[in-house]
């Protein structure tokens, strides 16, 4: 790591210095920027701040070495592996969501040559039908809208759940202020389903599926603009079907120095 720090950090500092020079930044503006950073720290928004502005860039870099399905940002609400019970039919939903719109998430996991991967694991998580994350917001039990599914002999999986909605990232603090007041943006993400896919000998894939024609698709505050998985609208028996298939790259072999 320390060699990488020596490689990357001087460039980073140089890029900031040259931006300050280009714009003739004053002492007053420099002080305001410092106060802003202190507020990011004091409000506990450091993870939100770096996620909102830089996470998608790291994902883009990661994707340069993928031939299969592209990765997407993880977001802050995966929790941990223990939050995922193996599900055979339906992700648990709160009793109050019983009448919310049904959704089926199904698809196939293959390698990059199209061979099915049996026994692959998908951790799936998404917001409740009113835009909250279990285990994070409003004391909602962490078991809701989360689960782990395992692919069958054909690499297929299918699970029912309830439809999520667009999600507004916290916008009351300094991150929202920068996005909305200074950058002229907004703080909304399109409705989405998160996936973390694992299979033996394959590179882990963290990504998200979006709903074609959904609000904010293509205009995500987190700038996930590669949108590999915008799923066409398909309704079966009143349920929105999300056909989401994944082609997993082989494990990345890092050349020995
Ligand atoms: C945030 C929330 C999400 O659900 C997500 O997918 C990405 C980011 C956030 O609050 O920053
Ligand atoms: Fe999310």
**Does residue 93's CB lie within 6 angstroms of at least one atom of ligand 1?**
no
At residue 17, φ and ψ (nearest 5 deg) are: -60, -40
Residues with CB under 5 A from ligand 2 (ion): 75
Average pLDDT over residues 228-240: 92
What pLDDT sits at residue 2? 86
> Quick one: pLDDT band at residue 43, thresholds 50, 70, 90?
very high
C-alpha atoms less than 13 angstroms from C-alpha of 148 in its C-beta half-sphere: 15
Check residue 78 and give left, alpha or beta (phi > 0: left; psi -120 to 50: alpha). Answer: alpha
What average pLDDT does the chain have?
Answer: 93
**Does residue 145's CB lie within 6 angstroms of at least one atom of ligand 1?**
no
State how beta strands 156-162 and 102-111 pair. Answer: antiparallel
Residue 147 has pLDDT above 80, yes or no: yes
Average pLDDT over residues 130-149: 94
Contacts of 127 (CB under 8 A, 6+ apart): 133, 145, 164, 165, 167, 191
CA distance linking residue 66 with residue 196, whole number of Å:
15
What pLDDT sits at residue 257? 54
What pLDDT sits at residue 225? 65
| Residue showing tokens 């609208």 | 233
> Quick one: pLDDT band at residue 229, thresholds 50, 70, 90?
confident
> Quick one: pLDDT band at residue 138, thresholds 50, 70, 90?
confident
Residue 44: name the closest of 76, 15, 67, 83 by CA: 76
* DSSP state for residue 96 in the 8-state scheme: G
CA dihedral 228, 237, 130, 184 (to 10 degrees): 40
3-state secondary structure 184-238: CCCCEECCEEEEEEECCCECCEEEEEEECCCCCCCCCCCCCCCCCCEECCCEECC
**Beta-bridge mates of residue 241:** 104
Coil, strand or helix at 28: helix
State the closest ligand 1 atom to the C-alpha of 170, by its place in the atom list counted from 1. Answer: 10
Average pLDDT over residues 38-55: 92
What is the distance in A from the centroid of ligand 2 to the CA of 8?
Answer: 30
Residue nearest to atom 3 of ligand 1 (CA): 75
**Beta-bridge mates of residue 159:** 105
Task: Give pLDDT tens digits for 60-116.
Answer: 999 999 999 999 999 989 998 889 999 989 999 999 999 999 999 999 999 999 999
State how beta strands 239-243 and 102-111 pair. Answer: parallel
What pLDDT sits at residue 97? 96
Residue nearest to atom 5 of ligand 1 (CA): 75
What pLDDT sits at residue 223? 80
CB burial of residue 116 (10 Å; 0-12, 13-18, 19+): middle
Residue 148: name the closest of 164, 124, 171, 172 by CA: 124
CA dihedral 64, 196, 221, 182 (to 10 degrees): -80
Residue 226 has pLDDT above 70, yes or no: no
* 51, 56, 72, 173, best to mutate for ligand 1 pocket (most atoms within 8 Å of CB): 51
């Amino acid at each position: 790591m320390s060699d990488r720090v020596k490689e990357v950090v001087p460039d980073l500092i140089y890029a900031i210095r040259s931006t300050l020079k280009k714009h003739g930044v004053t002492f007053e503006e420099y002080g305001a920027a410092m106060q802003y950073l202190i507020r990011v720290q004091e409000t506990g928004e450091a993870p939100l701040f770096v996620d909102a502005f830089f996470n998608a860039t790291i994902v883009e870099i990661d994707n340069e070495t993928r031939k299969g399905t592209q990765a997407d940002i993880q977001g802050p609400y995966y929790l941990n592996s223990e939050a995922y019970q193996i599900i055979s039919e339906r992700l648990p939903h709160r009793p109050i969501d019983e009448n919310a719109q049904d959704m089926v998430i199904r698809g196939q996991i293959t390698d990059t040559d199209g061979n099915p991967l049996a026994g692959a694991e998908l951790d799936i998580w998404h917001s409740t039908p009113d835009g909250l994350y279990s285990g994070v917001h409003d004391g909602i039990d962490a078991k809701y809208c989360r689960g782990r599914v395992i692919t069958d002999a054909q690499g297929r999986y299918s699970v029912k759940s309830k439809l999520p909605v667009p999600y507004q990232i916290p916008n009351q603090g300094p991150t929202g202020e920068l996005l909305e007041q200074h950058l002229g943006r907004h703080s909304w993400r399109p409705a989405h389903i998160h996936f973390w896919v694992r299979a033996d000998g394959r590179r882990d894939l963290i990504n998200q599926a979006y709903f074609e024609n959904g609000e904010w698709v293509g205009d995500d505050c987190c700038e996930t603009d590669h949108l590999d998985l915008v799923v066409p609208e398909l309704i079966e028996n009143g349920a929105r079907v999300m056909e989401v298939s994944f082609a997993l790259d082989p494990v990345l072999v890092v050349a020995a120095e």
